[in-house]
Amino acid sequence: MSGQNKDYCQHFYALADRLQQSLQGSEGFTLWLQGETSDFVRFNHGKVRQAGQVSQAYLTIRLVQDQKHISQTVVLGGQADDHAMVVAVVAELRKALADVAEDPHLLLSETVQSTETREPNRLPSSEEMVSDIVAAAGSSDLVGILAAGPVCYGFANHHGQRNWHETTNWNFDWSIYSHGDKAVKRGSAGLTWDKAALAAAVAEARTQVELLSRPVKSLTPGNYRTYLTPSALSELVSMLNWGGFSEKALRTKRSPILKMAEGEAQLSSMLNIVEDTRGGLAPAFQAEGFIRPDEVQLVQAGKLTGSMVSPRTAKEYGVASNGAGAGEGSESMQIAGGSLPTADVLKALDTGLYVGNLWYLNFSDRAACRITGMTRFACFWVENGEIVAPLNVMRFDDTMYRMLGSELEALTQETEFQADAGSYHARSSASARLPGALIKDMRLVL
């Protein structure tokens, strides 16, 4: 599979050269490619129920003249016919460009910074990975989807810039079902395959499934001491991607963390958040040709110190772009770990909620960064450092400034790598590395 994507790289470069030859007058172009060759395997009851492969590459062609631009996305076949198709698309775009209004906020990179990154394929065959999963599942009702294989991105423009990014990674989004609405949900991902680590994760989940068979405890609304696993914390901080770190949203006063930006509120001094392109799966370049720095400091010691700045926002407000995408969200978030060993989490929690998963999150008061959502899978009541009962589903409603601010007691030393399992249009390259979080007081309302 890696070899196929390597061919796509050379094919992509050749298409860029061909497009360059077809330009007229002062025309320019950008090309943006996203491709993959992915094995997808669906599991149910710990057995393989469906398997298949998707090989696809989408190419977005943008024709530019001064401040006018127009684009079209096509599907590549990886053959010589693609050359004729690209030339034909450019001809059609040229006809339409005359009727396009000028875009005052268009900003494309004019500094040539060519890069080529190909992570070596360190994965075993999908058949071997499937065998390991089935063995680890045993007789449990494991359900999930494994996606594995190379994912690639490419950029090219008329200035001669050429960029390529390719990783061969895997993502296993899985749960072990108990009964009714009770299950343990997990996610595993990476660039390497660790059979022992997967088996340990499944074994731990199977242990928690046994705990789910105990009589369920119902809580009354109130404030509770709470531990959020890295998965639960990931759901919570993902809300910051709804315009939180967006420079555009901050400038237009629509960011949910505007109070942080204006110095009216801050998070815990334990909290440090970085956009860690170097440590993630996303490419270090974007669709306008700008190179992303290895790191962008977003929050340091609880204070907002940076933002995600797209080229359009940079042009509109006269600031420097840091290579953010159009949505100005984090694609490779890293939250630094703290001082609490994961092995001591239950002891440190003492009595309260152990939350394995949150879902259906939304803002209940965006200006106050107040978030509401539901507890879901693998949520337990803990007494004196021991799990005593599974919990019925509860709704929380609390501000980020409390949960990750005044009420944050500790972060775990260990952090967990998580990859976005999304694959509706194509496999996502978003990822995060996070610790777990011990919260002194979290508000449950229903």
- Total domain count, the chain: 2
Residue 105 shares a structural domain with residue 237: no
Q: 224 pLDDT exceeds 90?
A: yes
Residue 165 shares a structural domain with residue 291: no
Residue 410 shares a structural domain with residue 321: yes
Q: What is the pLDDT at residue 20?
A: 96
* Integer angstrom CA distances of residue 92 from 15, 38, 59, 61: 17, 32, 16, 11
Residue 163 shares a structural domain with residue 263: no
Q: 379 pLDDT exceeds 50?
A: yes
Q: Is residue 180 situated within a structural domain?
A: no
Q: 193 pLDDT exceeds 60?
A: yes
Q: Is the pTM of this model over 0.85?
A: yes
pLDDT tens by residue, 52-107: 999 999 999 999 999 999 999 999 988 889 999 999 999 999 999 999 999 999 99
Q: Is residue 209 situated within a structural domain?
A: no
Return d(Cα 294, Cα 281) in angstroms, integer: 12
Residue 158: give its domain's CATH number. Answer: 3.30.2290.10
Q: 247 pLDDT exceeds 90?
A: yes
Residue 159 shares a structural domain with residue 260: no
pLDDT tens by residue, 268-321: 999 999 999 999 999 999 999 999 999 999 999 999 999 999 999 999 999 999
Residue 166 shares a structural domain with residue 51: yes
Q: Is residue 203 situated within a structural domain?
A: no
Q: Is residue 428 situated within a structural domain?
A: yes
The amino acid present at 69, given as its one-letter code, is H
Residue 25 shares a structural domain with residue 164: yes
Q: What is the pLDDT at residue 378?
A: 92
Q: Is residue 137 situated within a structural domain?
A: no
Q: Is residue 181 situated within a structural domain?
A: no
* H-helix or E-strand spanning residue 251: helix 247-251
Return d(Cα 208, Cα 205) in angstroms, integer: 5
Q: What is the pLDDT at residue 2?
A: 36
Q: What is the pLDDT at residue 363?
A: 98
Contact between residue 106 and residue 315 where contact means Cβ atoms under 8 Å apart: yes
Nearest to 216 by CA among 39, 387, 26, 349: 387
Residue 18 shares a structural domain with residue 159: yes
Q: Which two tokens stand for residue 353?
A: 């909620």
Return d(Cα 58, Cα 74) in angstroms, integer: 6
Contact between residue 241 and residue 420 where contact means Cβ atoms under 8 Å apart: no
* H-helix or E-strand spanning residue 435: none
By mean pLDDT, which of 4-18, 148-162, 214-228, 428-442 is the weakest?
4-18
Residue 159 shares a structural domain with residue 256: no
Q: What is the pLDDT at residue 3?
A: 39
Beta-carbon contacts of residue 38 (< 8 Å; ≥ 6 apart):
53, 54, 55, 147, 148, 149, 151, 423, 427
Domain carrying residue 114: 2-126+148-170
Q: Indicate the average pLDDT of the chain.
A: 95
Residue 260 shares a structural domain with residue 361: yes
Q: Is residue 155 situated within a structural domain?
A: yes
Residue 272 shares a structural domain with residue 360: yes
Residue 305 shares a structural domain with residue 396: yes
pLDDT band at residue 4, thresholds of 50, 70 and 90?
very low
Q: What is the pLDDT at residue 5?
A: 46
Q: Is residue 235 situated within a structural domain?
A: yes
